[in-house]
Structure 1
Amino acid sequence: MPHILIVEDEAAIADTLIYALQADGHSTEWVTLGSAAVDRQRAQPADLIILDIGLPDITGFDTCRQLRRFTEVPVMFLTARNDEIDRVVGLEIGADDYVVKPFSPREVTARVRAILKRMAPRADSAVEPIKTAPLHLDTLRMQITYHGQPLALTRHEFRLLQCLIEQPQRVFSREQLLDALGVAADVGYERTIDSHIKSLRAKLRQVAGAAEPIQTHRGLGYSYCPEQA
């Protein structure tokens, strides 16, 4: 039974989510503060966190940043605002979905199921490691090494680089890469891929400063080029 941590300071909204999620077969826990969510995730990790942005102590964004220091748990943001900048920031710091209030409880439970399904191990994850020198992808261990050095990647960075490595030379659009991250396709902010690519390139350059394995195709997207690695 997936365990969902709800971080919401409005009791009526929390009660609605608890009822809907439990009716859908999930166990739930409710806290009202961002700091409490961080402490709870350290003590008893949830399978997914529903996180309100407007919390009494620290913002949902800051809460997510603190969570990302030690966990890649899926995060769904709740907010009363629908500003583009909010959505972009949320996705850049590692959110998996974004729901604007007022929302349908049925929609939230459907999105939760979709996120958990995307997070489930893939049937083909037991394949042999992929070696496209100098990058080595091991899906069983969720590890990518570059010139023999393990890369410290976030979950989104790992999935993004995995997608590129598995099909060298193929040009992926931002929308296709966003889908590979497991972010809901209807979020529609493909440009957040640029931020993840920038971070990935920085980590690759720490190992091989002159190499450019991730190629930009203006107006199209990105590809992995082994010859440039």
Structure 2
Amino acid sequence: MEDLGSLGGSTSSAFDVNGRGEIVGRSESSTGAHAFRWAERGGMEDLGTLRQNDAGSSTAIGITDNGVIFGHSETESGASHGFKWTKADGMIDLGTLSGVGDSVARDGHTRGIVVGRSFQTTDFDTRRAVKWMDGEIADLGTLYQDNSGVSEAFAVNNKGVVVGFSQADVTTGSAIRTPAVKWIDGEIFDLGTLRDDNSDFSDARGINSQGTIVGQSREADGTEVHAACWGC
């Protein structure tokens, strides 16, 4: 076990590591809790924030094998926006669907796709799964027939398949339905739950290059939540 240190504060946490051994996370510093990048050469680097003079807070959630980092940061308005960081361009504000509210970038891959969530307004219940690519943000939609409701994206694989969860139309006899989903080329697919009537909830948190998906679901009798795998 190796101590990676901090940015001068008393607490730091690491959240992801890529194939080159570059590590990202969050550390307390003299100006707030900041996203960091750690490498064998150079140690811990403060990635700053989206505010002037690097005030406020930021968190790095993930890093691709080619060194692109993503996460979220406080902005001048006080909102928290998803960001993409590269060595060439520094921290880039990915924005939100409507220009207001918060967003967070959770995962990405070497082809430039970043996924996460964005509010449509300042209300948490307007959050939607989104994909950023080539500087544009796209709403991935939901399972509702009228495309209303809530969805979130948590991961994307190297083929561009995105996974997360979505609210859905209620099935016969069930009170609520929020199943895990995957998006392929903009089309959403219901992955179901472990319940016999496919009700209740599940969510997908990770996907590998072979398309195996992992997450969690309310299990068959509805009393417990279990780890779940689609395609194992």
- Give the alignment's TM-score, normalised by structure 1: 0.28
Structure richer in strand, relative to its length: 2
Higher RCO (Cα < 8 Å, 6 or more apart): 1
Say which structure is richer in helix. 1
TM-score, length basis structure 2: 0.28
